[in-house]
Amino acid sequence: MINVLVVEDDPMVASLNRQYVEKLDGFLLAGSAANAKEAAALLKEKSIDLILLDVYMPGLNGIDFLQEVRTQNHDIDVILITAASGLSQIQQALRLGAVDYLIKPFEFDRFKEALLTYKRHFHTIQNKAQISQQELDRLLREKQQPNRKNTVYDSLPKGLTKNTLQIINHIIHSLHPHPFSTEDVAEHSQISRVSVRKYLKFLTEIHYLEEHLIYGVGRPIYQYRLIKDNSNKIEPFL
């Protein structure tokens, strides 16, 4: 089993991350901490293989805590899970050995992808004194694969149509500058929520929309807002 420590100061986000970990075979939730001080105490008490680490926390931030972990030579892997999307912070985290970096909001599929990729790496190298060139090349190729957020589209993805995109785009502009949900667009367009969600996901991936995960009573919901400066991003598909 891979022992996981969740370090997140937002109780709802921490709860969600714990639930995600518990859904995956081969992972054991070994503890949860709301700040770096609590996390450091748990590292002294428990054997931890992987930390899911937020950046913005009270007290010591996640990047500085990761620096401490490396300074103290803890043999622990780290995946950053945070709203911090600044390139300098991402580069700093990667230089400190973060094995992945998830930018909030993200879906369970991306979380699952990150942990299962880590699991494959973990079991490949665990208890091995040496690794073959073929095994090393495979691991490095997996690590270098871009995630889906960086997908470049030459045409609309399969299942999406120009006419429906035009309808949804018209509704998005009618709702601007206010944030909106999948349900809002579905209600205005009379298109199913499942279909609307596919279009909004595509528009987020081409950076035409920005997406935020809103935590409240009940399950979290995604809200979207038009990125006015990126209005040209949709033009090739209309």
Q: What is the mean pLDDT of the chain?
A: 83
What per-residue confidence (pLDDT) applies to 217?
A: 58
Q: Are 63 and 16 a contacting pair, CB within 8 Å?
A: no
What per-residue confidence (pLDDT) applies to 229?
A: 82
Among 127, 133, 55, residue whose Cα is nearest residue 94: 55
8 membership: H or E segment, kind and range: none
* pLDDT tens-digit series, residues 92-123: 888 888 888 888 777 788 888 889 888 877 75
Q: Are 7 and 33 a contacting pair, CB within 8 Å?
A: yes
- The overall pTM is greater than 0.85: no
What per-residue confidence (pLDDT) applies to 7?
A: 96
* pLDDT tens-digit series, residues 20-30: 999 999 999 99
For residue 211, report the phi and psi dihedrals to the nearest 5 degrees.
-120, 135
* pLDDT tens-digit series, residues 219-238: 667 889 998 888 888 998 98
**Eight-state DSSP code of residue 83:** S
DSSP letters of 19-58?
A: HHHHHSTTEEEEEEESSHHHHHHHHHHS--SEEEE-S--S
Residue indicated by tokens 């091995």: 128
pLDDT at 51 over 90: yes
**Is 172 in a helix, a strand, or coil?**
helix
- Per-residue confidence band for 58, with pLDDT thresholds at 50, 70 and 90: confident
Q: Domains, the chain, ranges and CATH?
A: 2-146 (3.40.50.2300), 162-237 (1.10.10.10)
What per-residue confidence (pLDDT) applies to 198?
A: 92
What per-residue confidence (pLDDT) applies to 147?
A: 46
Sign of the dihedral through C-alpha 90, 93, 97, 101:
negative
Among 11, 91, 101, residue whose Cα is nearest residue 52: 101
Q: Are 10 and 214 a contacting pair, CB within 8 Å?
A: no
* pLDDT tens-digit series, residues 194-217: 999 999 989 988 889 988 777 655
Q: Where are the alpha helices (DSSP H) in the chain?
A: 11-23, 36-45, 62-71, 87-95, 108-125, 133-144, 162-175, 182-189, 193-205
